[in-house]
Amino acid sequence: MSIINTIYGNTEEGKEFLKGLQNREEAVHEEITQKVQVILKDIKENGDKALISYTNKFDSKNVNVKNILVTKEEIEKAYESVEKEFIDAINLAVENIKFFHEKQKRNSWMITKDKEVVLGQQVRPLEKVGVYVPGGTAAYPSSVLMNTIPAKVAGVRNITMVTPPLKDGSINPNILVAADIAGVDKIYKIGGAQAIAAMAFGTETVERVDKIVGPGNIYVAMAKKSVYGNVDIDMIAGPSEILVIADESANAKYIAADLMSQAEHDKLASSILITTSKELAKKVKEQLKIQVEKLSRKDIVLYSLKNYGAIILTDNMEQAIEISNNIAPEHLELCIKDPFLTLGDIKNAGSIFLGHFSPEPLGDYIAGPNHVLPTSGTARFFSPLSVDDFVKKSSFIRYSKEALLDVGDKIVKLAETEGLTAHANSIKVRMED
């Protein structure tokens, strides 16, 4: 049995595979939908009381209203229990993430026109942001940095983090240290749909926020979608993917390693190599077999490679790029000779990794661009998390009397065409004077 399937891009089989990729969604049972709705309503109505009750039930019996907020002492203790090398690595990551996101900042602007007309756009940071951080095995300090730093760079002054406590009521120290270095203001020991509800509606203890970001399980994802409109949320995340486009210049060992770095995330993760080289395809398969033996998550890797992974052979590069654009991958590696020259042809991708020494984990941790990326083909319309996600804009308009009189008739005409006579009246009273 093969570790990964090989498919020819321009065949029916190829098309079937690509279609299947889009249906990787986790099945949402009616039961889950209802449970989430009950939790949201309960928190909205009963605040802290409900919040503590769910936390005691699902996460830890040691959390109560008095210790739900992580203390300075807990953070200091966390620093003592993490490795110095970890802190060094986090510090480098923070520096690079800040550097990149600083370039995304935008100014307010204004323009003047004749007759004392001024138009403009004011850009302001959101006031309060909530960051959800999963607990347990998916407790990723890198995710704390990627969700928090763009908000800090945008100028958000009030960042609340929530994360489910361990059974003993504590929080993973790596998470606490990362949050502290990134500049989180408050950390609450809560998780699940109840934590999302607390941040969306507010409770006696937890302040309502303007936007909720961060990944979570199906309960968290559904709760976020439900409260969307009460607060803003980041994108809706689905199963993730890596797509590698490679030519004969590529290194099979590297590509195999990169495919598996995505495959280990999740049974639904998809790792795809598209290449014109049969020779490379063969070598990558060999390397997958060799390297998978070293991996702690071997079972997940094998499952996702087998079910959602593929090596797709194409006749030429154009075909490879077309398939990639249709998939709209979260991560795209261009392991080809002149990757910069291909950048312009890439229509849909979350993050693009150029050349043989820019593997996906470089972007996950250290390079600086955000690792929160549009998944499951949503790179067609969603973008990487950025400073833009933590600001709001207001437009402004200033007309003089003279300038208004110049266009008054036209406004009245449009308003009356639309049957909105009070709109027309607002202009007319000014024209009469």
| Alpha-carbon span 222 to 206, nearest angstrom | 20
Cα 53 → chain centroid: 30
Query: Is 356 annotated for ligand binding?
Result: no
In whole angstroms, the minimum distance from the beta carbon of 53 to its own copies comes to: 26
Q: Provide the minimum distance between the beta carbon of 80 and its own copies in the complex, in angstroms, as a whole number.
A: 16
Bridge-based pairing state of the strands 128-132 and 158-162 = parallel
Active-site annotation holds for 330: yes
Measured distance between the N- and C-terminal CA atoms of the chain, rounded to whole angstroms? 86
Nearer to its own copies, 52 or 336 (CB): 336
Specify the long-range contacts of residues 227-233, CB closer than 8 Å, at least 24 apart: 227/40, 227/196, 227/197, 227/200, 227/201, 230/200, 230/201, 231/130, 231/199, 231/200, 232/126
In whole angstroms, what is the distance from residue 216 CA to residue 134 CA? 6
* Closest distance of CB 388 from its own copies, Å: 7
194 is in an annotated binding site: yes
Q: Which is nearer to its own copies, 54 or 128 (CB)?
A: 128
Give the residue from 262, 401, 284 showing the smallest Cα distance to 329: 262
Q: How far is the CB of 67 from its own copies (least distance, A)?
A: 26
Q: Which of 8, 99 has the CB closer to its own copies?
A: 99
In the block, which residue shows the tokens 């889009």? Answer: 22
Return the number of the residue (24 or 356) whose C-beta is nearest its own copies.
Answer: 356
Q: Is 325 annotated as a binding residue?
A: no
Q: Is 331 an annotated catalytic residue?
A: yes
Contact 39, 193 (CB under 8 A): yes
* Distance between CA atoms of residues 170 and 123, nearest Å: 39
Q: Which residue has tokens 């390297």?
A: 291
Cα 161 to Cα 251: distance, rounded to the nearest angstrom: 41
Answer yes or no: is 418 a known binding residue: yes
- Long-range Cβ contact pairs of 404-412 (< 8 A, separation 24 or more): 404/430, 405/430, 405/431, 406/115
Helices 218-227, 192-201: axis angle to 10 degrees equals: 20
Residue 4 half-sphere exposure toward CB, CA atoms < 13 A: 30
Cα 253 to Cα 241, 286, 334, 352: the distances in Å are 19, 9, 15, 20
The catalytic residue among 101, 331, 356, 371 is 331
Q: Residue 52 CB, nearest distance to its own copies (Å)?
A: 25
Which residue, 315 or 409, is less far from its own copies as judged by CB? 409
Q: Which residues in 229-335 belong to E strands, given as ranges?
A: 232-233, 241-246, 270-275, 310-313, 331-335
In terms of CB distance, is 55 or 348 closer to its own copies?
348
Which C-beta is closer to its own copies: that of 15 or that of 62?
15
Is 364 marked within a binding site? yes
The answer to whether 34 is a known ligand-binding residue is no
Vertex 369 angle, CA 368 and 373, to 5°? 140
Min CB(145)–its own copies separation in Å: 10
Q: Tell me if 161 sits within 8 A of 188, measured CB to CB.
A: yes
DSSP string, 321-355: HHHHHHH--SEEEEESS-HHHHGGG--S-SEEEES
Q: Which of 330, 333, 356, 360 is catalytic?
A: 330
What is the nearest approach in angstroms of its own copies to the Cβ of residue 301? 6
- Annotated binding residues: 132, 194, 217, 240, 262, 265, 331, 364, 418, 423
Which residues participate in the annotated binding site for Zn(2+)? Answer: 262, 265, 364, 423
Binding-site residues for substrate sit at: 240, 262, 265, 331, 364, 418, 423
Active-site residue set:
330-331
Known binding-site residues for NAD(+) equal 132, 194, 217
